[in-house]
Structure 1
Amino acid sequence: MHKKLLTAFLMSTALLTAACGDDTSPPEENVDTEGCEHLREGPSTAITATTSGTPPSVANNHRRYDITLVDGVGGKSGSVSFAASEATDYVLYTSADVAVAISDSSGAAVAIEESAKSSPSCTDIKGRHVVPLKVGTYRFTFGPTTAASVNLVIEEASHEGHEH
């Protein structure tokens, strides 16, 4: 009797697991889909980057930031600030192939772990940068470029437990 109950329990657990869906697509594709959705559809906030003083803030809040770049050395450029609330990998999605440099609050450069100029999940992604950040405030500097603006979406690389 116990063997039959155990077998029935294990089978029902396996069926429930299968019914709930085992997402076999790579995590990057899931986060790319999320990033693409916000890059395409917003909601959006328009801001103007700065080359001096305190830059405007951006967040990983399911929002597209439409960033106007300003005249700088060698073309258009500008910075925004980002406060990382947890230590994790963040993915920066841009609508244009624009150079991105990241620095911490002391001005030290932060290495970008991985960069691409596209995503198989979305043709709107022209820049995809994965950067490991600790809790703290960072400066994202765009350019120099000929582009007058760039759209930015920030997502956490892991979406486990993610909800809108």
Structure 2
Amino acid sequence: MSTHALVAASAVFLLAGCGATEERTPQAEAPITQQSELLAACQDTEELEEVAEHSCVHAEYGPFESVTAAPLGGPSFVDVSVGHTAYNVTLPAITYKNWTLGYAGSVIFTPEESNEFALLTSGHRAVRIVNAATNEEVGLECRYEVPQEVCGTLRTAVTADLEGGIDYRVDFAAVVPQAATFLLVIEETAHEGHEE
């Protein structure tokens, strides 16, 4: 196994943990991962429910943009900063010989203003946010499981406080049998005077 493949595979398992469940069935639960075990459930679910409902409109009706994330561990120039957009993100495969072990990659998000943001995804993915300039990891606030009755397209969200004008590298990872492709919508959680 090459050093690069070993490092990438290790990163997938560190980000995503060892457990995985099939997410194609509506009753499938979130995979038990190191990340989700450490991240507390969000308490302000009323506000997040509103964010999820708004994001669901974009996840179902667009506008859409397809992007392929940069390989994990390298520089990323794949930008997902356009507001009110559903990104169809494809993660590069982490392979060993003929086996695909998982998927991992990075995108760049640059918020226009400082606020708390929710990163909503159509499938359960391990997420890490890093300041691209300083390489300092940003602490995630909490995890929100989107109820089926709120949105049938988006499954989960993580929240984080981000500063406006800063480039953030967002790392995603998934362990097989999860899919390489998922929808991503990033929205502010506090919308004063917000219009769709």
TM interval, short-chain normalised: 0.7 to 0.9
- Contact 1:91–1:156, Cα closer than 8 Å, also in 2: yes
Partner of 2:4: none
Q: Secondary structure at the match of 1:121?
A: coil
Q: Percent identity?
A: 31
Which residue among 155, 159, 181 is the counterpart of 1:126? 155
Partner of 1:107: 135
Q: Supply the AA of the counterpart residue of 1:117.
A: E
Question: Larger % of strand: which?
Answer: 1
Q: Distance in 2 between matches of 1:54 and 1:30?
A: 31
Q: CA deviation at 1:70?
A: 0.3
Please say which structure displays the higher CA radius of gyration: 1
Q: Supply the AA of the counterpart residue of 1:118.
A: V
Q: Supply the AA of the counterpart residue of 2:109.
A: F
Q: CA deviation at 1:54?
A: 2.5
Q: Supply the AA of the counterpart residue of 1:107.
A: N
Q: Supply the AA of the counterpart residue of 1:65.
A: Y
Partner of 2:182: 150
Partner of 1:93: 120
Q: CA deviation at 1:63?
A: 0.6
Which residue among 57, 63, 66 is the counterpart of 1:37? 57
- Contact 1:72–1:78, Cα closer than 8 Å, also in 2: no
Q: Detail structure 1 runs of 4+ shifted over 2 Å in the superposition.
A: 25-29, 52-55, 116-120
- Contact 2:127–2:173, Cα closer than 8 Å, also in 1: yes
Q: Secondary structure at the match of 2:70?
A: coil
Q: Distance in 2 between matches of 1:33 and 1:72?
A: 33
Q: CA deviation at 1:126?
A: 1.5
Query: What is the count of residue pairs matched by the alignment?
Result: 140
TM-score normalised according to structure 1 size: 0.78
Gaps of 5+ in 1: 1-24
Matches within 5 A, 1:1-164: 26-51=46-71, 52-72=74-94, 74-105=101-132, 106-119=134-147, 121-135=150-164, 136-146=166-176, 147-164=179-196
Gaps of 5+ in 2: 1-44, 96-100
- Contact 1:89–1:156, Cα closer than 8 Å, also in 2: yes
Q: Supply the AA of the counterpart residue of 1:80.
A: V
